[in-house]
Structure 1
Amino acid sequence: MIDLSKVALVLDIDGVIRDVAGSYRRALADTVEHFTHQAYRPTPQQIDDLKAEGVWNNDWEAAQELTRRYFATEGKGGEVVSYEAIVQFFQSRYRGDDPVHWNGYISQEPLIATPEYFQTLTTAKVAWGFFSGATQGSASYVLRRLEIQNPVLVAMEDAPGKPDPTGLFMAIARLESRFDKLDLVIYAGDTVADMITIQKAREIATNGQNFMAVGVIPPHVQDRQRQAYTDLLKAHGADLVLENILALTPEAIAQLLAETIRPII
């Protein structure tokens, strides 16, 4: 079997290790509906279409943009909702009304990954960590549920939003502080912005590292839309698209390397 000790797997969180269709995305739709005075609630497809533009990874910014576009379409371009108001309302739905014991939509999120999955990566000597557009609080919440202690985590507050690769390089540096130099970095994400992040990382990397983009189809995508979503991720740089992150096992990583870029490690 190929030695995986020089491989790092960096994961997005939302749509990859947890299902946010009924939490983040629901809060996004609630927010747009609220600030358009119940006149417009974006559908899951409309949210996907916005995110397919590759620059709306931040759901607060996405909610503000969908609200702005609605007003522009209705000839009310002068009506502006502040970013602060968007964030406050969004968080009231997502986190809930208890600032200590969050009781909002986040408390109902189904997990996709499992503690056992990360243990298999560790056993295979794959370095792993997280680069996510989620807040530190939200990301830490789900990682605690997965029984992950002291993770390498770069979240919203730590770096510019994707597709800027700064946060990815930060995660790599933190992993290399715990392990030896990593020759190959696999980044797994579920959006166009995630795939573009890898393209930008390749453009500016100067230390000889290689990058691979793995797209993961998020749970909210319906069966009839999965091929189109796969094609979308591949069109923006995905080297591989999977139905579920659990399919990216150490054995699958080794097989992928054997078939594609084995000479680099």
Structure 2
Amino acid sequence: MTSAIVIFDIDGVIRDVGNSYRRALADTVEQFTHHAYRPTEVDIDELKSEGIWNNDWEASQELIYRYFETQGTRRSDFKLNYQEIVAFFQSRYRGLDPENWTGYICDEPLLLEPYYLEQLSKAGIPWGFFSGATRASANYVLSKRLGLRSPVLIAMEDAPGKPDPTGLLAAVEQLEQQFNLEKTAPILYVGDTVGDMYAVERARSHDPSRMWLGVGVLPPHVQVTAQRRQAYSATLKAAGAIVVLDNVQDLTPAQIEQLVVI
């Protein structure tokens, strides 16, 4: 088959974060608005559709600011303590014990099974990960939950946040070095947000000599109704997704081959 490289986002693609990251985000906004406002799933999706709120700590802060603006308070008139926001968020997501996590992260359903990645490897398709999650959080799911051994991973600490494509480019470069690949293979980045698709567009602008494809995946929380599925799918396609899948494992080697010969 046509050679290709696949890079995966993690949150909403590899694991369901609807009741973990998103729940921690909503808890945080509620806490810092003095329990006056708790964002809904739709509220969070609308914010993330702007394409620049991949970092959930920053997204929490922005929703807090926006709430107070609706109450007639200008954000220039008060300043939130960002580190306090991060600490509270992490107390919910990881739990209170920094060594033994007991928070929402412990109950995240997996959206991918190891055999799927083995299938890609057998087909000669190199793969890795570029995520806005912290390295510790990403490794929790990749190593502890999926049993992967030192996969290529560019995490929050390693590159600017999406839609900046630096992390995507770095993941591709690591795989090229690891597998001694020529710098001509098509690149597929699999993500669930507008920011993910924008990162692909920017990578294409950085290196227009090769094929860059954004593959959208519908996170579980938008699959509850046909209307939300259709709306979210349309948003991802408008942001540049060449295809939108219900589950990451639908991106089979055969599907990849079809996409890269378009």
In structure 1, the partner of 2:14 is: 17
Q: Which residue of the other structure, out of 189, 192, 195, is the alignment partner of 1:190? A: 192
Considering only aligned residues, what root-mean-square deviation do their CA atoms show, in Å?
Answer: 1.0
Identity %, equivalent residues: 56
Distance (Å, rounded) in 2 between the aligned partners of 1:257 and 1:172:
16
Distance (Å, rounded) in 2 between the aligned partners of 1:249 and 1:102:
34
Question: Counterpart amino acid of 1:107?
Answer: C
Aligned-residue offset at 1:80: 2.5
Distance (Å, rounded) in 2 between the aligned partners of 1:57 and 1:92:
20
1:130 aligns with 2:112: no
1:36 aligns with 2:39: no
How do 1:77-92 residues align onto structure 2 when only pairs under 5 Å count? 77=74, 78-92=77-91
Question: Counterpart amino acid of 2:232?
Answer: Y
In structure 1, the partner of 2:156 is: 156
In structure 2, the partner of 1:141 is: 140
In structure 1, the partner of 2:73 is: 76
Kept in 2: contact 1:9–1:188 (CA 8 A): yes
How do 1:86-101 residues align onto structure 2 when only pairs under 5 Å count? 86-101=85-100
In structure 2, the partner of 1:220 is: 221
Kept in 2: contact 1:186–1:213 (CA 8 A): yes
Query: Which string of whole-angstrom CA distances, capped at 9 and with x for unpartnered residues, describes residues 150-182 of structure 1?
Result: 100000000000000000000011001111125
In structure 2, the partner of 1:55 is: 52
Kept in 2: contact 1:95–1:104 (CA 8 A): yes
Please identify, of 174-183 and 241-250, the stretch whose mean Cα deviation from structure 2 is larger. 174-183
Structure 1 segments of 4+ aligned residues over 2 angstroms from their partners: 76-80, 255-258
Distance (Å, rounded) in 1 between the aligned partners of 2:135 and 2:260:
32
Distance (Å, rounded) in 2 between the aligned partners of 1:35 and 1:79:
13
Distance (Å, rounded) in 1 between the aligned partners of 2:9 and 2:117:
14
In structure 2, the partner of 1:237 is: 240
In structure 1, the partner of 2:202 is: 200
Distance (Å, rounded) in 2 between the aligned partners of 1:139 and 1:31:
21
Q: Which ranges in structure 1 are unaligned for 5 or more consecutive residues?
A: 261-265
Query: Which string of whole-angstrom CA distances, capped at 9 and with x for unpartnered residues, describes residues 76-108 of structure 1?
Result: 332332111110000000000111111000001
Distance (Å, rounded) in 1 between the aligned partners of 2:114 and 2:103:
24
Distance (Å, rounded) in 2 between the aligned partners of 1:38 and 1:200:
39
Please identify, of 84-93 and 73-82, the stretch whose mean Cα deviation from structure 2 is larger. 73-82
SS at match of 1:232: helix
Query: Which string of whole-angstrom CA distances, capped at 9 and with x for unpartnered residues, describes residues 214-252 of structure 1?
Result: 000101103221011111011111111111101001121
Kept in 1: contact 2:4–2:260 (CA 8 A): no
TM-score, structure 2 length as denominator?
A: 0.95
Q: Which ranges in structure 2 are unaligned for 5 or more consecutive residues?
A: none
Kept in 2: contact 1:71–1:79 (CA 8 A): no
Query: Which string of whole-angstrom CA distances, capped at 9 and with x for unpartnered residues, describes residues 186-226 of structure 1?
Result: 000000000011111111116x3211110001011032210
Distance (Å, rounded) in 2 between the aligned partners of 1:63 and 1:80:
14
TM-score, structure 1 length as denominator?
A: 0.94
Kept in 1: contact 2:54–2:161 (CA 8 A): yes
Distance (Å, rounded) in 2 between the aligned partners of 1:105 and 1:80:
28
